Amino acid sequence: MWARPKTLTPAHSIVRSPKTEMFRFLSFTTFLATWWIAALFAGGEKLPPPPAVLAAIVEAANSGALFLNLGVTLARVALAFTLAMTLGTAIGYLMGRIRLADRVGDPWLILLLNLPALVVIVLAYIWAGLTEVAAIAAIAINKLPTAVVTVREGTRALDTTLDEMARVFAMPRWRAFRHVILPQLAPYIAAAARSGLSLVWKIVLVAELLGRPNGVGFEIGVAFQLFDIPRLLAYALSFVAVVLIIETVLVQPFEARVSRWRPRAA
C-alpha cells in the first residue's frame, strides 16, 4: 500500500497581517457610516438606519425565524451546489477527454449557458410542481454549465507528459487520477466552485421567492409585498454575512490548500 510520508512541509496557512485586518475593519466602518448618512438624507422610510435593521435582525433571531430560514436556504444551496459540482465536474472531464462527448454535449452546453435562470426555474415549477426537488434541480441546472465549461478547459490543459510518466510506471488508474490528474484539475474545480457558489447564492433566492414557502428568498418576497424594508435588509444582510463566513472559513482555506505547492505571489 502507498503510505503517505510523514515529513511534509506544512501547508501554507492563510495568515493575515494585522495591517490587512485593519484595512478590512476600516472598509467595513466606512460602509456603515455611508449607510447611516445616506439613511439620514433619504429618510428612514426608504432606507432605515443601521440600528433599525439591527433591531429587525434581533427580532427575527429571537423568534427563531431567522435561523430557520437561513438554515433552509443553506440546505438548498448545499444540495444544489453539490449536485451541480459533481455532475459538472464529471461531464466536463468527459467532454475534455473524449472528442465525441464534446461534440454531442457542446450545443446543449451553449443552450444551458444562455438560458435565463428565470426560465429554468419557472419551467421546473410548472413541470415538477412547486416542490423542493424542482427548486433544487432548477438551481443546479443553472450552475451546471459553468462548472462543465471550466472543468473542460482544465481537462484540455492536462499535461500529457505526466500522463505518459504515469503510464510508463504502470500507475493504477485510480492512483494516477488522484495524484496526477486531480491536482491539475484542482485549480479549475476551485474556480468553478468559487464562481458557482456566488451564482447559486444569487439564484436560490429567486427560486425561493417564486415557489417555496420558506427560506431567505421567501422572506424577502414577503417583506417586499409589505414594504417592510428593515425586515428585507435584515434578511439580506444576515444572508450576506453567512456567505462571507462560508467564503472565508471553507472556500479560501480550500483554495490555499490545493495551491500550496505553487510558489506564492509576493
Partner 1 sequence: MQLEVEIARKAFTNAAGERHDVLVDLKFVLGAGEVGVFVGPSGCGKSTMLKIIAGLDQDYQGRVVRPADARIGMVFQEPRLLPWRSVEENVRLAAPRADDVALSALFTVLELNAHRSHFPGELSLGLARRVALARAFAVEPGFLILDEPLTSLDDALAMRLRDQIATLVDSQSVTTLLVTHDVDDAIRLGDRVFLLSSRPARILAELPIRTPRKARGEAEIAAIKAEIARRTNGDSANGDAL
The mark string for 173-212 relative to partner 1 (x by CB under 8 A, - otherwise) is --x---xx--x-----------------------------
Q: Which three cell numbers stand for residue 103?
A: 461534440
Query: Which residue shows C-alpha cell 510523514?
Result: 6
Contacts of 176 (CB under 8 A, 6+ apart): 163, 166
Query: Which residue shows C-alpha cell 457558489?
Result: 197
Cβ atoms of 197 and 251 within 8 Å: the answer is yes
Terminal Cα-to-Cα distance of the chain (whole angstroms): 39
Member of 15, 161, 173, 174 binding partner 1 (CB under 8 A): 161
* Residue 83 touches partner 1, criterion: CB under 8 A: no
* Residue 157 touches partner 1, criterion: CB under 8 A: no
Member of 15, 170, 265, 266 binding partner 1 (CB under 8 A): 170
Contacts of 77 (CB under 8 A, 6+ apart): 139, 197, 200, 201, 204
Q: Which three cell numbers stand for residue 209?
A: 421567492
* Residue 171 touches partner 1, criterion: CB under 8 A: yes
Member of 1, 100, 265, 266 binding partner 1 (CB under 8 A): 1
Q: How far is the CB of 148 from partner 1 (least distance, A)?
A: 24
Give the burial string for 48-63 (b: 16+ CB within 10 Å, else e).
bbeebbeebbeebeee
* Residue 264 touches partner 1, criterion: CB under 8 A: no
* Residue 15 touches partner 1, criterion: CB under 8 A: no
Span of 12-20, 74-82, 145-153, 172-180 interacting with partner 1 by CB under 8 A: 172-180
Q: Which three cell numbers stand for residue 236?
A: 439580506
* Residue 167 touches partner 1, criterion: CB under 8 A: yes
Judged by the rule CB under 8 A, the positions of this chain that interact with partner 1 are 1-5, 7-9, 161-162, 164-165, 167-171, 175, 179-180, 183, 261-263
